[in-house]
Every structure is written in structure tokens, then in C-alpha cells.
Structure 1
Amino acid sequence: MTAFLTSYTFLIGLMFGSFYNVVGLRVAQSEGFFSSRSRCPRCGHTLSWVELIPVVSFLLQRGKCRSCATRISYLYPLVEVTTAVLFVVSLMMFGFQMELWLSLALMSLFMIVFVSDMTYMIIPDKVLLFFLPIFVILRFLEPLSPWYASILGAIVGGGLLAIIIIVSKGGMGAGDMKLFALLGIVLGVKKVLLALFLSTLTGAVISGMLVIMGIIDRKKPIPFGPYIILGSIVAYLVGESMIDWYVTTLFR
């Protein structure tokens, strides 16, 4: 892979990441992301193109609004850079194959969900419904083996979360359940189970550390979406290797 192609993909990822920030913030509040220009949430200042350059504007403005000096959330550059990195990783892993487009769509979904869940603790149905036909079509063109793995993945992913919600009496949200059902289409049964395990593990470890450090209150609800995203990215990209290693070690 040439340096030019890598750099180009990274820049494209930055631009899409900036857009996903807008989508994640506005769709969760039922706002149209094309209906109005971006503005400062504190003073209402309409942002010029100079203030909308991914990462660069944040650095030039030292993380503050040019109009009212209110500190800009680090969520914006984080999502932009993370999207860019995930786009490059997808290209490096899959090249110009059909799976690349599925990977890019999956990473896009993750970034939008990350923004909305971190900000409002909402995983919007509109976002999930938008990506549903995309995943179905791409998985039809690039099917798992066996062909029904995607169907079972959706049933298992959504079904397990539904059971957890019932048993825990609302310990997780319906948005998490719907997201896992959607992920099952992409990941299949084995990887969606691995994603659930990794999500739960990382959620317990990271949340526990944050509680011990006093950063979060154990009595306050926390968004589970980011942990789902982290576990699912690992399962999607290196899940086969992890499962093969586990089976080989277990039955050696």
C-alpha cells in the first residue's frame, strides 16, 4: 500500500469523522443535520469553514470557541482521528475487496453510535435502520460461511441482550439490544458471541477502574455503547484468530 493511498484514506476518514460528529449529535435530538449550519452550543456562533477543518481547527483554536472561549469537547477530534485510523486499518486488512465497504460502513456506524451514546446515552433507531439495509446487501454480496450465519448472528445477538435486559430488569437499554442484533448480521454467531464477551469484560474492567479512581459515580448509569464498539471492533478484525487460538489451546 502506497503512502499516498494511506494518507488519502486517513484524510477521507477525518472528513467523515467530522460529519459523524454532527450526525451523532443531531439525530439523537431529532435535528436535521443538513437543516442548519454548525454552531457553538453555548453562544450560538455560526462556525465558518476555517473553524470546521477536522483536528486542525481544534488545535488552532486551542480547543476553545473563537466567539465565547467556551472549551470545545475533546470528543470532536477524538472521533475524527479514530474514524481516520479505522478507515486506514480497514483498507490495510481487506484491500479493495467487497469486505472493505462493509468494514467502512461498520466503522461509520460505530462512530455515530459512539457520539450519540456518549453525549445523550441514546442509540438512535434512525441510525440503526439506516445501516440495516446496507449491511444486509453487503453481507448478501459477501456472505459468511455458512450462508445462514448472519441470520443466526442477528437472532443470537439480539436474543441474548433481550434476556440480559429481562433478567437484569433494565440493566441494559433496548438500543444496545438492537445494536447487537444488527452486528450479528455482520459478525455471524461466533464473532457476535465474542463481541458480547469482550464488551462485557472491557466494560466491567474499565468502569470498575473509573469508579475506583472517582471519575464516575457507581450509582449513575453509564453508556454501554462504547464498550460494545470496542469489543465488536476487536471481534470483527481479529476474532477468527482469537477463536482459533482459544480452540487450539483448549483442545491441545
Structure 2
Amino acid sequence: MTNPLILLFFLLGMIFGSFFNVVGLRAPQKRSFASDRSICPHCKNQLSWYELIPILSYLFQLGKCRHCRSAISIMYPVIELITGLLFAFSYIKLGFQVELVTALLLMSLLVIIFVTDMKYMLIPNNVLLFFLPLLIFTRIINPLDPWWSSITGALSGMVIIAIIILASRGGMGGGDMKLFGILGIVLGFDKTLLTLFLSCVLGAVVGLVLLLTKVIDRKQAVPFGPYIVTAAVVAYFYGESLLGWYFNHFS
């Protein structure tokens, strides 16, 4: 029998995903996302509650604004669905324990960063500063083993990215460095390095495919945040298994 709590976390994730879309689009512009009502970006009409139901509104409206019939970005339902799946998966993997709070906070941060970097190629400080004390607190309540792995993870993540920034003369940005600092607190030393490795591999593979298919050219800048986000999710949930497999076969 399916655990109804899985469905509950999935629904909560979709609701939060809708909110994270708003945060991700407005936070880099320093716009209020708490008081300003949602509007259509094309005709500026204020949206009613039934136009803001996660995924369903998009489907019922056939992906178009009810007022001006302009296309609604597919990003909205995709982010809602992904957040729902991440919240549900977090519960499936962890159950009710303190670490679940850390997982949900981390997934929330990563989803917002995905939106901001895809839209603006920016990882905003105000988003990072909001989640930083929350994730530090959950790591104090439920520390890694050993506890100092959070410190070494944060320091190593930031130092390595700083070196890459200097060596590449801007190939990565300060937002990436700060994000890796936060990831280091949550993931610890080993999984932070794994996240960096996976994100580089993923970025290289996807970038090569996009170049070969001529979706982008060699001089076109692409956001690296989505690769970090994807790698961090994999490292958080499967890092121990991947590292164990690696050391068993190559050490």
C-alpha cells in the first residue's frame, strides 16, 4: 500500500515549487515576492488563484495566458514537478528525522538557484544568505560524522572554486564559490569534492552535445549552476554509494 505521506510531500513540493519559481524570478531583481501579486509578464493582468494551481493551471490553459493567450514558460510546471518529486524522494529516503529538514532546505535552495541561474545566469546573495543560517543550524542539530567535515567541506569548496575563478579569469563566478561553501556545510568534504567532479563532467558532456547540435556556439556563455544543482542532489542522496564504489574498484 502506498504511503499517503509520499503523496503529501509531493503535493507540498509542488506548492513550494510554484513559490520557488516566483522567488527565483524576483530575488535577483530585488523585487518583493511576499506582497506583490502574480501577473502575466506579457499583458500584466493580475492572475487569479485558479490560474496559479501548480501544474494543473498550465495544463487546463494549454500553456497559454487566459487573458492574452501568450505562451506560458514551460519552466513553471517543470519546476513545480521537480520540486514535488524532490520533496517526495527526500521523505522516501530519510523518513521522519531531523535530516529530512536539512534535505528539504537543501532541495529548496537548489531549486531556487536553478531558476535564477537559468534565467539570469546569477546566484543571488540574498537567497544564499537566507538559507545559510538555516542549514548551519540543522547541521549543528544533526552534525556529520565527523562533525568537522562540514568545516573542511565548506573551506575546500570555496578555495577550489576561487582557484578556478582566478585560473579561468571568470570561467566561474563568486556565486558558484559561495554556493559551494554552503554545499560543503551540508555535504561534508568528500561529497563536496564529488559534487564538483560530477558537475564538471555533466557540464562537459552537456556542453559538448549542445555544441555538436549547434544549440550554442563556442563563445556563448552558459549557466553552470544547473550542473552544480544536479550534481549536489546526486551527491547528497547517493554520494556514499558512489564513493564506496569508486574506492572499491580504484584503490
Smaller-chain TM-score bracket = over 0.9
* Residue in structure 2 matched with residue 127 of structure 1 by the alignment: 127
1:183-194 → structure 2 map (5 Å cutoff): 183-194=183-194
* Residue in structure 1 matched with residue 219 of structure 2 by the alignment: 219
Q: Equivalents in 1 of 2:92, 2:147: separation in Å?
A: 26
CA shift digits 1:127-171 (9 cap, x unpaired): 000000011000011111111110110000011000000000000
* Residue in structure 2 matched with residue 150 of structure 1 by the alignment: 150
Is 1:166 the counterpart of 2:166 in the alignment?
yes
Deviation at 1:35, TM superposition (A): 2.6
Scaled by the length of structure 1, the TM-score of the pair is 0.98
SS in 1 for 2:134: helix
Number of residue pairs matched by the alignment: 251
Deviation at 1:8, TM superposition (A): 1.1
* Residue in structure 2 matched with residue 116 of structure 1 by the alignment: 116
1:13-52 → structure 2 map (5 Å cutoff): 13-52=13-52
What is the identity, as a one-letter code, of the residue corresponding to 2:239? Answer: G
Which runs of 5 or more structure 1 residues have no equivalent in the other structure?
Answer: none
Which runs of 5 or more structure 2 residues have no equivalent in the other structure?
Answer: none
What is the identity, as a one-letter code, of the residue corresponding to 2:128? Answer: L
Q: Equivalents in 1 of 2:139, 2:2: separation in Å?
A: 28
Q: Equivalents in 1 of 2:144, 2:8: separation in Å?
A: 30
Q: Equivalents in 2 of 1:217, 1:111: separation in Å?
A: 27
CA shift digits 1:83-142 (9 cap, x unpaired): 000001100111001111000000000111111110011111000000000110000111
Give the aligned CA root-mean-square deviation in angstroms: 0.9
SS in 2 for 1:10: helix
Q: Equivalents in 2 of 1:147, 1:99: separation in Å?
A: 14
Q: Equivalents in 2 of 1:250, 1:203: separation in Å?
A: 24
Q: Equivalents in 2 of 1:5, 1:226: separation in Å?
A: 29
Q: Equivalents in 2 of 1:5, 1:169: separation in Å?
A: 48
Deviation at 1:2, TM superposition (A): 4.0
SS in 2 for 1:192: helix
Q: Larger deviation: 17-26 or 2-11?
A: 2-11
Is 1:57 the counterpart of 2:49 in the alignment?
no
Q: Equivalents in 1 of 2:35, 2:6: separation in Å?
A: 33
Q: Equivalents in 1 of 2:18, 2:167: separation in Å?
A: 38
Q: Percent identity?
A: 53
Scaled by the length of structure 2, the TM-score of the pair is 0.98
Q: Equivalents in 1 of 2:42, 2:121: separation in Å?
A: 20
CA shift digits 1:167-203 (9 cap, x unpaired): 0000011111110111000000000000000000000
* Residue in structure 2 matched with residue 206 of structure 1 by the alignment: 206
